[in-house]
Amino acid sequence: MKINSIYITIIILVIGLISCKKEQKPTIEKIATNVYQGTAISSEFDDAIDSLISLMTIEEKIGMLHANSMFSSGGVERLGIPELKMVDGPLGIREEISRNSWAPAGWDNDYATYYPAAGSVAATWNPDLSYTFGNSVGQEARARGKDMLLSPAINIIRTPLGGRTYEYFTEDPFLNKKLAVPFIVGIQENDVMACIKHFAANNQETNRGTVDVLMDERTLREIYLPAFEAAITQANAYSVMGAYNKFRGDYLCENDLMLNKILRNEWGFKGVVVSDWAAVHSTVKSLENGLDIEMGTPKSFNEYFLADKLIEAFKLGEISEAEIDKHIKRILNVLFQVKAINGKNRVQGSLATEAHYQDSYNIAAESVVLLKNEKNTLPLNLEGVKSIAVIGNNATKKNALGGFGAGVKTKREVTPLEGLQNRLPENVKINYAEGYLERYSKNENDQKAEVTLHGPLPVNKLDATKLEEAIEAAKNSDMAIIFAGSNRDYETEASDRMNLKLPFAQEELIKKVMEVNPNTIVVMIAGAPFDLQEVEKMTSTLIWSWFNGSEGGNVLADVLLGTINPSGKLPWTMPKNIEDSPAHATNSFPGDETVTYKEGILVGYRWFDTKNIEPLYPFGYGLSYTNFEISDLKTNKETYNINNLIEISFKMKNIGNVAGKEVAQLYVSNPDSKVERATQELKGFKKVFVKSGASEIITITLPVKELAYYSEIKNKWLIEPGKYVLKIGNSSRGNFEEISINIQ
Ligand code: GLC
């Protein structure tokens, strides 16, 4: 190569390095401070907005209030107002969809990074990784030229059967808000609106389009709103998606209580409310009650409620131009805020880069939950191992696509089998056998389009040949790894599961394989709780993984081989029986025209702990390849007043022989409470890395205000004076260190 071209190459390399440096994540100190605060919508645009509105015709204004394609709402080209471009979803940037139908547009430049599903992010218990996800996927949304990302989905997991459990974070409102805020901040730092969904109380798929959700005010405030409230008041989310269901009699997209009184008047929301697709049921009522943009299903867009019908209503004087202008102002506010209108140096972003695949890897790496490792089989000791049987359809099943809006078209999804092929040494032979078939029964009344009580019905019968192959593989291998669980067809939007049972006769397969080779590890891949009681009895080694993104298979192999020490903790309770779970124990799921959340504030572990029911695996549970000891618990004071910050500090010692990360969890009890309270509530957590043999002093701060309960009598938050017990453990049922304090 000639000298001068070498220089050119070097220069290009250097520029390349600098430019990719530019995309680096925020500086460490930002992440280290763990404080995530979003940027409020600026008032600097007010004059420009008012002058634009003064130039618009009523038809142009109304054109902005509804879809002009499947994933955009109208702009006003002559005034330089672009259409507002939206894109799904919680697992990454969805492929381009046709403008007038649900069909993919068939582009070849919209492949994206497949990120771990929300349950996986929650299992990391690491808000910094949630920020990383938001920042990374925000860059991808910008690279695809979008203004609004329809994510994060932050509904509380009320029933383990929920079809969208994998899309949501957790059953606990505190963990939910601690993960939602950084995620939104990360997205919006890239000049993209986060669109928090589905506001609110959309906690089941069954009859989601019509079900009227009823619950008491305290339950609403303490459980189902906190993440949405923090998303608005701390993360300054710029958009909100109105849910399909009703709440206390009104559809969410025309619900004055939710969209005006709570969202705007109480929380000060200045952004836009977008409907879920075809969730609008009126014209004037929906606008007056707080909706701004109507999205929907394929039909001519002028037939939408906020299109010709609205022009009609305006001409009849049923709605004023001033009212319409209010909504236009909100839309222009957020378009200016994300630099969509004559925006200078708007973030360009990047799509499906190695940096983003690495982000995906880093999140997944902290999400895998070690449920059982009785004989310390893990991490695998390959000494003398010449062959490994890799069994199960889930070893090769891909989960990026599917599930309606949450699917991602990606060029990279490393399956568990590929991960092992990538990571195992050459001299270890892999004997793969599918083991079980993913088959569904022809459910005669399968109305996929409608929302049915349950999703596809699995065929729970093993194929003899597949079983035989699996047994052969296990017999002829030094050890076996079975990949079972669920997938994105079995867990999906628009339907809930029938039960907690493992599908496709996987239990029988595991049993048969164990009979011929007891040296077998079981890996579950799923997005929601399953009944693992039988599996737990059969195997000494049980791992839980997720729909875990583009690098999921590599992460799993790295965990199995010990490159990664697992640090995931369950973000929800794994029940033994569905009847033990609150929504089912109170016989209040799925309801019919209405569903009443009879368990009230006792959602998830709150129910299991307060009712003293043993789960299979508790909320916050997860093992490590090492062990940690918590000691020297102390608080900065003994007595506090309402405006104080409680500082709890303690020592965390790694008493094992490998470094690892542990999640210290703070649960608070109020034994003398005068009102009904859960036995304990999560009020703090911190994930820490500790080297083998080392100790770290950890401090968790807890504002006294977090101890308040919502009084329905006084319609406000109240703090009971008296004794509170603070407990630090590594699970909601771990052996706790505890200390008492007094609140004046
Ligand atoms: C779906 C989902 C919502 C999604 C939207 C667009 O019905 O409920 O989460 O963003 O439609 O795909």
69, 70, 245, 277: which to mutate for ligand 1, most atoms within 8 A of CB? Answer: 277
Centre of ligand 1 from the C-alpha of residue 151, in Å: 10
- pLDDT category at 452 given cuts 50, 70, 90 is low
**Domain ends where: 574, 595, 620?**
574
What does residue 697 show for φ and ψ, rounded to 5 degrees? -95, 125
**Is 650 strand, coil or helix?**
strand
Q: Which atom of ligand 1 is nearest to the CA of 167?
A: 9
Q: How far is CA 739 from the centre of its chain?
A: 33
Residues 385 and 499 in one domain: yes
Residues 494 and 635 in one domain: no
155, 166, 276: which to mutate for ligand 1, most atoms within 8 A of CB? Answer: 276
Contact (Cβ atoms closer than 8 angstroms) between residue 556 and residue 548: yes
Q: Which atom of ligand 1 is nearest to the CA of 198?
A: 9
Please return the burial class of 696, using the count of CB atoms within 10 Å of its CB with bins 0-12, 13-18 and 19+: middle
Residues 392 and 478 in one domain: yes
The whole-model pTM stands at 0.94
Whether the predicted pLDDT of 5 surpasses 80: no
> Does residue 209 lie within any of the structural domains?
no
> Does residue 332 lie within any of the structural domains?
no
Query: pLDDT at position 455, please?
Result: 73
Residues 443 and 506 in one domain: yes
> Does residue 468 lie within any of the structural domains?
yes
Task: Round the average pLDDT of the chain to a whole number and report it.
Answer: 94
Whether the predicted pLDDT of 4 surpasses 70: no
Alpha-carbon span 198 to 209, nearest angstrom:
12
Which CATH number covers residue 402? 3.40.50.1700
**Is 684 strand, coil or helix?**
strand
Residues 561 and 647 in one domain: no
Alpha-carbon span 601 to 215, nearest angstrom:
9
- pLDDT category at 11 given cuts 50, 70, 90 is very low
Residue type, 343: G
Centre of ligand 1 from the C-alpha of residue 337, in Å: 24
Query: pLDDT at position 410, please?
Result: 98
Query: pLDDT at position 34, please?
Result: 62
Which CATH number covers residue 674? 2.60.40.10
Q: Which atom of ligand 1 is nearest to the CA of 244?
A: 8
Alpha-carbon span 20 to 728, nearest angstrom:
41
Query: pLDDT at position 609, please?
Result: 98
Centre of ligand 1 from the C-alpha of residue 536, in Å: 36
Whether the predicted pLDDT of 524 surpasses 60: yes
Name every protein residue with a CB atom under 6 angstroms from any ligand 1 atom.
Answer: 88-89, 150, 197-198, 276-277, 404-405
> Does residue 89 lie within any of the structural domains?
no
Q: What average pLDDT score do residues 376-389 get? A: 97
Q: What is the pLDDT of residues 475-517, one digit of tens each?
A: 999 999 999 999 999 999 999 999 999 999 999 999 999 999 9
Centre of ligand 1 from the C-alpha of residue 140, in Å: 19
**Domain ends where: 549, 574, 599?**
574
Helix (H) or strand (E) holding 488: none
Q: What average pLDDT score do residues 380-384 get? A: 96
Inter-CA distances, 724 with 206, 406, 648, Å? 39, 42, 13
- pLDDT category at 643 given cuts 50, 70, 90 is very high
Inter-CA distances, 582 with 158, 599, 612, Å? 8, 6, 12
- pLDDT category at 456 given cuts 50, 70, 90 is confident
> Does residue 545 lie within any of the structural domains?
yes
Q: Which atom of ligand 1 is nearest to the CA of 153?
A: 9
Closest by CA to 180, choosing from 196, 158, 204, is 196
> Does residue 231 lie within any of the structural domains?
no
Active site residue 276: yes
113: CB partners within 8 A, 6+ apart: 92, 93, 136, 137, 140, 351, 352, 353, 356, 357, 359, 360, 408, 410, 412, 549, 550
Residue with the smallest CA separation from ligand 1 atom 11 is: 277
Domain that holds residue 711: 628-743
Query: pLDDT at position 551, please?
Result: 98
Contact (Cβ atoms closer than 8 angstroms) between residue 194 and residue 149: yes
Residues 542 and 393 in one domain: yes
> Does residue 252 lie within any of the structural domains?
no
Centre of ligand 1 from the C-alpha of residue 296, in Å: 10
**Is 195 strand, coil or helix?**
strand
Contact (Cβ atoms closer than 8 angstroms) between residue 254 and residue 212: no
Q: Which atom of ligand 1 is nearest to the CA of 71?
A: 6
Contact (Cβ atoms closer than 8 angstroms) between residue 225 and residue 199: no
Q: What is the pLDDT of residues 134-161, one digit of tens each?
A: 999 999 999 999 999 999 999 999 999 9
Residues 634 and 705 in one domain: yes
What single-letter DSSP state applies at residue 706? Answer: G
Instruction: Return the percent helix, strand and coil in the chain, to nearest 5.
Output: 30, 20, 50
Give, to the nearest 10 degrees, the angle between helix 552-560 and helix 416-423. Answer: 60
Contact (Cβ atoms closer than 8 angstroms) between residue 359 and residue 115: yes
Q: Which atom of ligand 1 is nearest to the CA of 208?
A: 8
Centre of ligand 1 from the C-alpha of residue 160, in Å: 20
Whether the predicted pLDDT of 23 surpasses 70: no
DSSP code string of 35-98: ---PPPPPSTTHHHHHHHHHH--HHHHHHTSBEEETTEE--BGGGTB--EEEE--TTSPPPPB-
Residue with the smallest CA separation from ligand 1 atom 4 is: 405
Centre of ligand 1 from the C-alpha of residue 419, in Å: 32
Give the chain's domain count.
2
Residues 391 and 516 in one domain: yes
Return the structure tokens found at 454.
């349950």
177: CB partners within 8 A, 6+ apart: 226, 227, 229, 230, 231
Centre of ligand 1 from the C-alpha of residue 492, in Å: 12
Residues 644 and 559 in one domain: no
Whether the predicted pLDDT of 272 surpasses 80: yes
Centre of ligand 1 from the C-alpha of residue 277, in Å: 6
Residues 521 and 659 in one domain: no
Closest by CA to 630, choosing from 601, 666, 604, is 666
Q: pLDDT higher for 617 or 451?
A: 617
Whether the predicted pLDDT of 531 surpasses 60: yes
Residues 640 and 568 in one domain: no
70, 241, 404: which to mutate for ligand 1, most atoms within 8 A of CB? Answer: 404
> Does residue 248 lie within any of the structural domains?
no
Alpha-carbon span 66 to 75, nearest angstrom:
10
Residue tagged active-site, from 191, 212, 276, 292: 276
For a pLDDT cut of 90, what percent of the chain falls above it?
A: 92
Residue with the smallest CA separation from ligand 1 atom 9 is: 405
Residues 523 and 393 in one domain: yes
Query: pLDDT at position 10, please?
Result: 44
Q: What is the pLDDT of residues 213-253, one digit of tens each?
A: 999 999 999 999 999 999 999 999 999 999 999 999 999 99
Return the structure tokens found at 607.
């129910």
Q: Which atom of ligand 1 is nearest to the CA of 89?
A: 10
Residue with the smallest CA separation from ligand 1 atom 12 is: 405
CB neighbourhood size of 24 (10 A) = 8
Q: What is the pLDDT of residues 563-605, one digit of tens each?
A: 999 999 999 999 999 999 999 999 999 999 999 999 999 999 9
Q: What is the pLDDT of residues 292-330, one digit of tens each?
A: 999 999 999 999 999 999 999 999 999 999 999 999 999
Contact (Cβ atoms closer than 8 angstroms) between residue 566 and residue 368: yes
Q: What is the pLDDT of residues 403-439, one digit of tens each?
A: 788 899 999 999 999 999 999 999 999 999 999 999 9
